[in-house]
Structure 1
Amino acid sequence: MRLSVVISAVVAALVGFGGTLAIIVQAAQAAGADAAQTSSWVTGLCLAMAATSTILSVRHRMPIITAWSTPGAALIAASTAPVGMEAAVGAFVLAGALILVAAAFRPLGDLIGRIPTAVAAAMLAGVLIRFVLAVFESAGHAPALVWPLVGLFLVARLLNPSWAVLAVLAAGGALAAALGLTGPMPAHLGLTTVTLIPPRFEPAVLIGLGLPLFLVTMASQNLPGFAVLQAAGYQPPARSILSLTGLASVLTAFLGAHTSNLAAITAAICTGPDTHPDPHKRWMTGPFYGLTYLVFAAFGASLVAIFAALPGDLVKTVAGLALVGPLTGALAGALADEKRRFAAVLTLVVTASGYSAFSIGSAFWGLAAGLLALGLDKAVQAWRGRQAMPSPSLRA
């Protein structure tokens, strides 16, 4: 047991919670949620993260980190008119049920297991590089805040890599307050209450929201999440993961929460050597990650206000610096296999481009581009091999 395991888990939870909480609030507003329902939505998601990450990590002895569907929340937030929380909950129940159906479909797990490591690592690198670049974009907006934190990070990594990101987070909060960049903080931390919301199954909402929510969760979250584990050298148990996250999605839907799934960005913080040099002991991040989310669940409403008060440039800086190490490992894995290097680079650039089509993010399209390139390479090699073979008459 190392302190770096605890720090990685806490930082991953903080980055995941604070980095995308604003999107959840926007999604709740778009769905027509009131303040109590929004708080219940966040609490339900936190409970799902705590339970699924802990159970899966302990059961399979892997750092299986879960998260809420950020693309799914963005999809909900993009709704042009509120559908009503009852109808939204009906769509959330459908999306969770479809994940359970996918878990029962064995060929899906076989397909995930056949993704080449180089392509999986390249897709991860393409996702991570945008977050690391955002650090220096933020430096242009708030140089007095970001550059001192970058300097602190570089020095702290020389002394103790495990503490570097936590030091940046603590110093960043104090520096932001000193510069007057923080908003009003809540007067006290109050315990969160949940609200049970009965579902209403409206066909138009089920088709227009529930089905797309399932598709973007699978393509833009679960698939990259499996790739992160593969890139770190693990063989993810696809059916077990989908079964538990699908069940959690159905149960927490009645609290107003949308889908739960594998994490990609935050998982990368917990799967690399900075967490623990022994890959067989990194699974311990799961329970600590889950414990952190239990705290978030207990004080969800107050934490929403706290994270809303922090400047966005601080959250981006902490997230980006935390992902420098995982980005390094992903790039090394992507480019190590010379025969698959072109496909890996293609995967990386498509993923990093942010290209989106049919409400599916660039991670899926990057993976598709890389696999297509590998498939074409294999087809050409097979054709050349047949051309090089002597004809039957010559062999006779």
Structure 2
Amino acid sequence: MPKPGASQSSLSAIAGITTGLVGFLSSFVIVIAMMQNLGATDGQIASGLLVVCFAIGITTLFLSYTSKAPITIAWSTPGAALIAGAFAAGEGDSEMLARAMGAFIVAGILLIATGLIKPLAALVSRIPSEIAQAMLAGFLLAYCTEPILVLASEPWLAGPVIVVWLLALWLAPRWAIPAAFVASCVVIALNFNSEAVEGISILPHLEFVMPSIDGAAIVNIALPLYLVTMASQNLPGLAILKAYHYKLPWKRSMVTTGFMSSIIAPFGGLTINLAAISAALSAGSESGVEHLKRWRSAMWSGYTYITIGLFCSAVVVIISAAPSEVFGTLAGLALVGTFAGSVAGAWKNPAEHSRMPAAVTFIIAASGVTILGIGAAIWSIAGGLIVRGIILARKQAQEDKAETHAEHQ
């Protein structure tokens, strides 16, 4: 709660800086895990974090200033989690990374098309949210079990991080992952591996990755990334702003985020989108900022992301020095909230035509199966839609039969 007598300027700064810090610290480990699984080097990961933080900051500043609404931007946390779960650690290489960057460009183009072509946005919104959420939950399952597995095998590495996370959940839930990160830093310091950070620069720098446009990567990375970003970020972000009585310039937002996503991809940048959960930190009344002035909070969030971007190389150095078990624990804990939200969204509707398709989608996604070169993300959505169609068709046939029987009575 804001302090009595605090000025609107200071309240805006507090709300915006908090938005930026929470947005970054609660999910940056997921982005790093994704890049590692794709085969990125530490330098490429640092480059990717730098450009995506700058893209988030600049886009937030542009949209919030031009619309005078608290529009905040974030990276696609669900998209990063989806991709990280789809590729096992050590599986990636330079070719896979190049194909992934090409897929990121395509995902950005699809976002631009969504802003320019209204029927495309309408089509995406018709995909049942429970199916999209179940797909994401399926991919997150393996990651979220990692802390328990590490705790069983290496309790002195995972234990302190988990304990701090649990205490923070009780005392300050919003800061649970940042607190766990601090605990991880302590564990890393006690188990520091100087050889792991040799040759890694802590200065901000860019590394170019020549993108490769590959059909399989478009199907297995670009399309799932686009769909989960729309379903889990952009549409909820729109709903949150509407709930706080703000008008979102949809076309401008989609075109801008899509354009920025495409141009940062060759430097390792992940797709960006409307912030969803963290959006309320700047747009909500809890900040104490007057309704018409909350766009200034979003501006502060943008400045915060740009500042954080300058220190991303140092963050990567810390992660590189960490035992893999510590990072796996931290990444798993960071994904628990996203997993919980996905599960809740997947099974929020008790109706059979919603519950059963979600279950099928979840099972296929969790299997990680690849058939005919097409990954589990697309198969899970297809499986869920097929089961949903069968259940709805059966229900319609039963209703038609009952109606016909009634007419003959």
Structure 1 Cα separation of the partners of residues 114 and 372 of structure 2:
20
The offset of 1:144, in angstroms, is: 0.9
Alpha carbons of structure 1 residues 195 and 320: separation in structure 2 relative to 1, 3 Å: closer
Q: Which range is displaced more, 311-320 or 93-102? A: 93-102
Provide the residue aligned with 1:202 in structure 2.
Answer: none
Q: Which amino acid aligns with 2:58?
A: A
Query: Alignment partner for residue 75 of structure 2, among 47, 61, 66?
Result: 66
Q: Assess if the C-alpha contact under 8 Å between 2:49 and 2:269 holds in 1.
A: no
Residue pair 2:103, 2:218 contacting (<8 A) in 1 also: no
Asked if 1:218 corresponds to 2:227, the answer is no
> Which residue, out of 55, 64, 67, partners 1:48?
55
Check the 8 A contact 2:76/2:233 in 1, yes or no.
no
Q: Does 1:148 align with 2:151?
A: no
Structure 1 pair 345–55 and aligned structure 2 pair: CA distance change class (3 A) = farther
User: How many angstroms apart in 1 are the aligned matches of 2:201 and 2:141?
Assistant: 35
Task: Return the alpha-carbon distance in structure 2 between the equivalents of residues 190 and 79 of structure 1.
Answer: 24
Cα deviation for residue 321 of structure 1 reads 1.9
Separation in structure 1 between the aligned mates of residue 171 and residue 406 of structure 2, nearest angstrom: 69
Q: Name the structure 2 match of 1:176.
A: 188
Given the alignment, which residue of 376, 379, 382 partners 2:396?
Answer: 382
Counterpart of 1:261 (choices 268, 271, 278) is 271
Classify 1:119/1:89 alpha carbon distance in 2 versus 1 (closer, same or farther; 3 Å): closer
- Any stretches of 5+ residues in structure 2 without a counterpart? 1-13, 241-247
Q: Which residue of 2 aligns with 1:133?
A: 145
Match of 2:384 among 365, 370, 390: 370
Aligned match of 1:248 in 260, 272, 293? Answer: 260
Relative to structure 1, the CA distance from residue 258 to residue 9 in structure 2 (aligned partners, 3 Å threshold; closer, same or farther) is closer
Q: Distance in 1 between matches of 2:159 and 2:188?
A: 12
> Are the counterparts in 2 of residues 224 and 364 from structure 1 also a CA contact under 8 Å?
no
| Equivalent in the alignment of 2:366 | 352
Task: State the Cα distance separating 1:228 from its structure 2 match.
Answer: 1.7
Percent of paired sites with the same residue: 25
Give the alignment of 1:265-344 within 5 angstroms. Answer: 270=278, 290-291=302-303, 293-295=305-307, 297-339=309-351, 340-344=354-358
Quote the Cα distance in structure 2 between the aligned partners of 1:80 and 1:151.
35
What secondary structure, in the 3-state scheme, does the structure 2 residue paired with 1:389 have?
helix
Structure-2 separation of matches of 1:47 and 1:248: 10
Contact 1:165 1:321 (C-alpha < 8 Å) held by counterparts = yes
Q: In the alignment, which residue of structure 2 is the partner of 1:32?
A: none
CA change 1:295–1:18 in 2 (3 A) is: farther
Please, which runs of 5 or more residues in structure 1 have no aligned partner?
30-34, 200-204
Check whether the contact 1:23–1:74 (CA below 8 A) recurs between aligned residues: yes
Alpha-carbon distance in structure 2 between the residues aligned to 1:244 and 1:179: 43
Q: Deviations over 1:52-94 (max 9, x none)?
A: 466567867566522497549969x978886999x99999767
Write out aligned runs for 1:25-174 (5 A).
26-27=39-40, 43-52=50-59, 61=70, 64-67=73-76, 71=83, 97=109, 100-101=112-113, 103-174=115-186
Query: Structure 1 pair 212/268, CA: closer, same or farther in 2 (3 Å)?
Result: farther
| Kept in 2: contact 1:138–1:313 (CA 8 A) | yes
Alignment check: 8 A CA contact 2:35 2:45 kept: no
Supply the AA of the counterpart residue of 1:144: W
Name the counterpart of 2:5.
Answer: none
Shift of 1:387: 2.2
Partner Cα distance (1:369, 1:57) in 2 = 40
Do the aligned residues in 1 keep the contact of 2:27 with 2:334 (CA within 8 Å)? no
Question: Structure 1 19/277 Cα, relative in aligned 2: closer, same or farther at 3 Å?
Answer: farther
**CA deviation profile, 1:7-52 (whole Å, cap 9, x unmatched):** 531323532443334246x3479xxxxx7x8865654344334434
What is the rounded CA distance, in whole Å, between the counterparts of 2:374 and 2:299 in structure 1?
A: 31
Distance 2:176 2:253 in 1: 31
Superposed displacement of residue 262, structure 1: 4.7
Deviation at 1:134, TM superposition (A): 1.6
| Conserved 8 A contact 2:47-2:268 | no
Q: Is the 8 A contact 2:257 2:273 kept in 1?
A: no
1:55/1:278 CA distance change after superposition, 3 Å: farther
Secondary structure of 1:65's aligned partner: strand
- Corresponding residue SS for 1:327: helix
CA contact (8 A) 1:220 1:361 kept: no
The aligned residue for residue 33 of structure 2 is 19
Q: Deviations over 1:197-249 (max 9, x none)?
A: 9x8xxxxx86xx35544444432212112222489585498755542233124
User: Kindly tell me: are residues 155 and 128 of structure 1, through their superposed partners in 2, closer, same or farther at Cα, counting changes over 3 Å?
Assistant: same
Query: Are residues 389 and 129 of structure 1, via their aligned partners in 2, closer, same or farther at CA, if it must alter by over 3 Å?
Result: same
Q: Aligned residue pairs: how many?
A: 373
Q: CA RMSD in A?
A: 4.8
Secondary structure of the residue aligned to 1:310 is coil
